[in-house]
């Protein structure tokens, strides 16, 4: 068999496979979302430029879908090149950070990067880890240590999580792996949902899926608890009805929005009585002059119950109750900080609880 014939045979096999069928279903749904997108909901100039960079994903070959995770750099800025074997000198740093977080993980909420669809990372104890893996793991540990994951593992009623700005679906993958009895609602730009839907449908082939196409009434989902994943275009957020979510999360996308957009999402969460909001964001991105601060907007609707600088080094040691405070104090003294212990450009874990004031 010639090389060309072998490649064509491989492409034919991939085209008939589950991941490519997931991609075709996701693409059709995203096109429907785009068809219903109102003019006033068009992405910002920044995101219009970013989306233009991955327009090729709307006509992707099976070979591209086979390595979809390696194309998510359009959303994350994270490249698989940085994790190839000739960069193994950096693996120890990731292993140390993983060990730091594991040391305070009482319930084993670590989920490694999947090897599916071109998953990448350094191998630590036979598990793939990368920056995204650790970022999401750290968020899970914070939520667990503060008691917010306990209801999801109690084996009782099915619960609902809403992720605003869900990106390529990485945190949704980790959360659903840990807590399969969860209805997970992903809200993002339609083009971003192309990544997330393809990825999650591929990795959870038996999941029950709902696409909100953005047509009038499509965001009212009376049977939301019967689905595993619900994909919602950003402009349909204001009309979304999925009952009362148990928790909402946001990883590093509030910081990219305008004040009005962040306020719209958080006001919406308040309106539907979502009791808990978790945010890992900078208070203010240096590249965004259309945002006040993330925490100030959150505080208009929610009471901040937990607020700490992000980074594995800021977790308390199990055998030293004062270790965390000492490390943070040292860090604060070594860098220019704002008066509340952290600059606007620092990533922070913020957990906020529903407030009665609007």
Identity of the highest mean pLDDT range in 48-57, 247-256, 286-295, 333-342:
247-256
The bridge status of strand 247-251 relative to strand 276-282 is parallel
Q: Which domains does the chain have, with CATH numbers?
A: 17-37+44-79+133-354 (3.40.50.150)
pLDDT in tens, 286-304: 777 788 899 999 999 999 9
**Tens of pLDDT, residues 44-76:** 776 777 788 889 999 999 999 999 999 999 988
pLDDT at 344 over 80: no
- pLDDT for residue 336 is more than 50: no
CB 253 within 8 A of CB 164: yes
Q: Which residue has the tokens 């240096």?
A: 286
- In DSSP terms, 187 is beta-bridged to 164, 232
User: What CA–CA distance (Å, rounded) separates 347 from 312?
Assistant: 12
Residue 147's Cβ-count burial label (10 Å; 0-12, 13-18, 19+) is exposed
């Amino acid at each position: 068999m010639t090389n060309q014939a072998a490649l064509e045979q491989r492409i034919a096999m991939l085209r008939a496979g589950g991941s490519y069928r997931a991609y075709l279903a996701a693409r059709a749904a995203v096109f429907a979302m785009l068809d219903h997108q109102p003019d006033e909901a068009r992405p910002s100039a920044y995101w219009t430029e970013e989306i233009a960079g991955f327009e090729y994903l709307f006509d992707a070959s099976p070979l591209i879908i086979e390595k979809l995770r390696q194309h998510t750099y359009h959303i994350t800025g994270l490249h698989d090149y940085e994790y190839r074997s000739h960069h193994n000198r950096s693996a120890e740093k990731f292993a140390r950070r993983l060990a730091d977080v594991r040391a305070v993980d009482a319930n084993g909420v670590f989920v490694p990067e999947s090897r599916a669809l071109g998953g990448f990372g350094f191998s630590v104890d036979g598990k793939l880890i990368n920056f995204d893996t650790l970022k999401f793991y750290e968020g899970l540990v914070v939520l667990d240590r503060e008691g917010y994951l306990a209801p999801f593992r109690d084996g009782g009623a099915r619960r609902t999580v809403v992720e605003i700005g869900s990106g390529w679906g990485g945190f949704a993958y980790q959360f659903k792996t840990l807590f399969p009895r969860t209805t997970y609602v992903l809200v993002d730009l339609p083009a971003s949902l192309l990544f997330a839907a393809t990825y999650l449908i591929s990795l959870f082939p038996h999941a029950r899926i709902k696409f909100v196409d953005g047509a009038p009434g499509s965001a009212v989902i009376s049977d939301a608890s019967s689905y595993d994943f619900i994909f919602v275009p950003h402009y349909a957020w204001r009309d979304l009805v999925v009952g009362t979510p148990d928790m909402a999360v946001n990883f590093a996308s509030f910081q990219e929005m305008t004040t009005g957009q962040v306020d719209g999402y958080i006001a919406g969460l308040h309106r539907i009585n979502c009791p808990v909001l978790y945010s890992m964001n900078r208070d203010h991105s240096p590249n965004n002059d259309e945002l006040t601060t993330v925490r100030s907007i959150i505080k208009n609707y929610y009471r901040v119950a937990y607020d700490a600088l992000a980074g594995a080094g800021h977790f308390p040691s199990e055998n030293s109750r004062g270790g965390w405070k000492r490390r943070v104090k040292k860090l604060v003294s070594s860098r220019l900080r704002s008066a509340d212990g952290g600059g606007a450009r620092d990533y922070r874990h913020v957990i906020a609880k529903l407030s009665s004031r609007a």
